Structure formats: structure tokens, C-alpha cells
A and B are shown apart, each in its own frame.
Chain A
Amino acid sequence: MRDQRLWTWHVGAGVVILVFLGLHMAIMHIDTVLGLFNRPGTEAIDWSNVVDRAKSAFFMVTYVMLLGAALFHGLYGLRNILFELNPGAGLKKGLSVLLTVVGVGLFGLGTWAAWASFGLTRAL
């Protein structure tokens, strides 16, 4: 049944997030100490660094993987917490549908942004 499968994917997604969000956090929040990922003297969110990452195929693909894994992991976790508050059967079904729609929608938005910025920055 579903819970056995969903939980296994939840743990798997957690492993994917550990790797890629760890990298993302290192780039964004620890790079003044590490000095490995961004242009010297710039901040991680400066446009020059954003371009460097956006036009890289590695970052484009891994951003999409991180997006999918994090949306699944986070929304399944939220579903767990909400279900533990013991809603009725109809509300449970509604919540599952809503969270799935939100997840798929945001995944679509984020994937489009990764793909569009890949094309935009490559053309620059």
C-alpha cells in the first residue's frame, strides 16, 4: 500500500537533498570560508555568479533534481504532520490532492525557470 512506498521515497529523497542542498548551502552560505564556488570578491547571489551557474548543465540538472526531491520530501512531511492531527477521510483525500497539485505545479514552475535561464544565459 501507499504508505510503505511513500515513506521509502521520502528517505530516498532525503539522501538526494543531503547531497545537493549541502552543495547549495556551501555555495550560498559557507563560501566566504571555502572560497571554492563563487567569483572572488563577489557574493553568491550576484548576477555574475547566477549566470555562471545557470548556464552550467550540471547545475541545471541538479537544481531540477533538488527541486523535485525537496518538494516531495517537504510536502510528504507536511502531509504526515497534518494527517497525525486526525482529519476525516474526505479531508485527508482533499489534502493529498491539494499537496500533489501544489507540488507538481511548483515543480513545473521551477523546472521552467531552470530551463529558461539555461537558455537565456547561454545566449548572453
Chain B
Amino acid sequence: MAATNALSEVVFRIRRFDPAANASPRWEEHRLPYTLGMTVLDGLKKLKETVAPGLAWRSSCRMGVCGSCGMFINGRARLACNTQITELGTNVVMVAPLPNFDTIRDLVPDLVPMFDAHQALMPYIIRGDHDEMTLPTGEFGQSAHELEQFLQFSYCIRCGCCMAACPTYATDPRYSGPMPLTQSHRYNADTRDDGFTARRTVLAGEAGPWRCHYAGECSRVCPKGVDPAKAIQLMKRELVLDYLRLRRERCPAEIAARPAGIKRRDGIPEAPKPTI
């Protein structure tokens, strides 16, 4: 890895594509002086301020939580805000739009197919008790162990890096991809949810995890440690057990019992009555 004190200049090679102007993408090279702690996103912003005002990309939080700035940086899908120039081991930074998605312009990918696949796998709590879902009367009881079964997968920020790294998604757009499958498993594994049967109608077919062959790249590139590869294999286990009729049926989590025998402290007023 290049020592920070030796790095004085960064060479950015950016894949530009303007659908209105050019027919095919081209590489554009710019040089910037290196500043300590510079990330790829910092570099893009500096370029836009100075020499490349038309450069387009998505970014927002600049701290690795919104998932907007997923790009193909030096041959690997990463978040631009999370990628220090020094961690790349070279002062040449090649930035391209996220692969396996159509490119709208410059570094902006079309993530709509990923969101469509995500929506099709029903990533929300599905329960039969509609009254409780619309007018909740209490909390659902869930132990720390039950929470741990899906918590890791809920950290997903939908950046699309896993989709860019997946070899199956590289050729097969009908495969749901790591993010939608992981989110589907996140809800299947949630004890508050009762939607396995509904999701199974989609997961048992072409949109399911069957085209995953554990290349493991999705988990390697995930910036939040969600480990989609693990979620997909756990989902396969559930579905195989389901096919063999060995899957343990469970009732969804019940309303947690209110603590009994607790007295309100003197001087604390009652809560106002609910208005809906």
C-alpha cells in the first residue's frame, strides 16, 4: 500500500457517458492534488467544482449509510464515500458506474430493476391479524436470540454493490440478486412475520435463490457486513426443509404481556387519550 506521505497527486480516470451527446462511453483523465483523508467521493466533488462541471453521480450522506454512491472503483464495487484513496494501493483511481445495471449517465446506475425484484419478494411483515397491524395495542414479544436471527440482514443500505459483484446477476437479469433475496430472508427469519407461505410462491420458482452458487463476492463487497451469501444459503435450507416437509412451523410472535404490578410514580401525569 502506498505510504500517505509519498502520495501527492491522484489520477482520476472516470467513465463518462452522456446519452444526449455521445453514443458510447469514454474514459476521461483528471489530476488532483492529494489531501489527507481524501475519499473517492471527495475527489469527484473537487473535480465537479473545478474541471468537470457536468460530471453526474449519486451521493448523499458521505458517511456510508445512505447507499447512494455505489460505484465500480478499481475493478471492485464500493461506496465512493467509504473508499479512501490510500486503501487502493495506487494513485490511479478508475471510477466506472456500477455494472450489471443500465447506466443512465456518467456514474449513475439504473437501480429500478433491483427495487422491483425487492418489492416482488414482499420485504415487509405479513401477518394475519389485520386489526392489530392497523391499530396496534402493544409490542410484539421477541427475545434477543430471535432478534439476532435477522438483525444482521436488516443493516442493508440497498447500495447495489452486491448485485454488481454477483456472477449470476452479470448474465441473468431474471435472478433476483443478493439484496432482494437477503431482505426476503430477513423477513422470513423474523418471528413477528407470518409470510413464509406467501413468499414461497415466488421463491420456489425462477426468482428464488436457486441460481446462487456461492461465489461469495456479494459478502466480500458489502460495505455494511450484511453477508448476503449467508442469508441466501440459510434461505435455501428453509426452502429445502419446506419441500421435504421437515420445516418447523411456528406461530408468529404474540403481543408481549404488559409488566404487571408496576405503579406509576407520584407526580407523573397520565398519558393523553389516543386520538385515532
Contact = CB atoms under 8 A, between A and B. Distances in A.
Interface of A: 1-8, 11, 80, 83-86
Given A4-B239, A8-B244, A84 B204 contact: no
Contacts of A5: 204, 243
10 contacts: A3-B206, A4-B200, A4-B203, A4-B243, A7-B210, A8-B240, A84-B168, A84-B171, A84-B175, A86-B173
Contacts of B208: 3-4
A3 B168 contact: no
B58 interface: no
A86 B240 contact: no
Interface of B: 168, 171-175, 200-201, 203-206, 208, 210-211, 236, 239-240, 242-244
B57 to A, nearest CB: 28
Contacts of A11: 240
Contact of A86 (B171, B236, B243): B171
- Top-7 shortest CB links A-B: A4-B204, A1-B205, A1-B204, A84-B172, A3-B210, A7-B210, A8-B240
A83 B200 CA distance: 21
B48 to A, nearest CB: 36
Q: Main SS of chain A's interface residues?
A: helix
Contacts of B173: 86
A4 B175 CA distance: 14
Contact of B172 (A2, A6, A7, A83): A83
A98 to B, nearest CB: 19
Nearest to B168: A84
Contacts of B244: 8
A9 to B, nearest CB: 9
B172 A86 contact: yes
A34 to B, nearest CB: 33
A85 B210 CA distance: 15
A32 to B, nearest CB: 35
B211 A84 contact: yes
A1 B211 CA distance: 15
Which among A3, A6, A11 has the highest number of chain B CB atoms within 10 Å? A3
A75 B200 CA distance: 25
Nearest to A5: B243
Nearest to B208: A3
Nearest to B203: A4
Contact of B211 (A2, A4, A8, A80): A80
Nearest to B241: A8
Contacts of A80: 210-211
B205 A2 contact: yes
Given A5-B243, A7-B210, 11 more contacts: A2-B205, A4-B203, A4-B204, A4-B205, A4-B240, A4-B242, A5-B204, A84-B168, A84-B171, A84-B172, A86-B172
B35 to A, nearest CB: 44
A8 B210 CA distance: 10
B116 to A, nearest CB: 16
A67 B45 CA distance: 62
A86 B113 CA distance: 15
Contact of A8 (B174, B201, B243): B243
B205 A3 contact: yes
Contacts of B201: 1
A6 B243 CA distance: 10
A1 B203 CA distance: 9
A84 to B, nearest CB: 4
Contacts of A6: 210
Given A3-B205, A3-B206, A85 B243 contact: no
